[in-house]
Amino acid sequence: AQSVTQPDIHITVSEGASLELRCNYSYGATPYLFWYVQSPGQGLQLLLKYFSGDTLVQGIKGFEAEFKRSQSSFNLRKPSVHWSDAAEYFCAVAVNSGGYQKVTFGIGTKLQVIP
């Protein structure tokens, strides 16, 4: 079975600083990978996704993520964080399972942005 590890539960960065959120997955083949963001009181919104091809994917709100097969990682990055980026971020992996796409989420990383 697949699994997702987000090793950082909380991260604090200063506004304007760069950001990297870590995500590692466990699966025998190349999975489909997603990053979602959850703002306070809101549902999850898709930031970006990786299915195949270019290993550096661009998403919304200036985020990008890089798939590294050798490290089983899919880290999320942003060059300059804005206060509005404070939220919880979830990495997810999807695999084909009995005719449907089973999605497994990490436990999330809560991002705090300080002035």
Counting contacts by CB under 8 A, is residue 115 touching other proteins? no
Q: Which of 8, 22, 27, 32 binds other proteins (CB under 8 A)?
A: 32
Q: Rounded to the nearest whole angstrom, what is the least distance from the CB of residue 41 to other proteins in the complex?
A: 7
Handedness of CA 83, 84, 87, 93 (dihedral sign): negative
The helix/strand/coil state of 108 is: coil
35 or 81: CB nearest other proteins:
35
Q: Which of 44, 65, 76, 87 binds other proteins (CB under 8 A)?
A: 44
Counting contacts by CB under 8 A, is residue 51 touching other proteins? yes
Counting contacts by CB under 8 A, is residue 40 touching other proteins? no
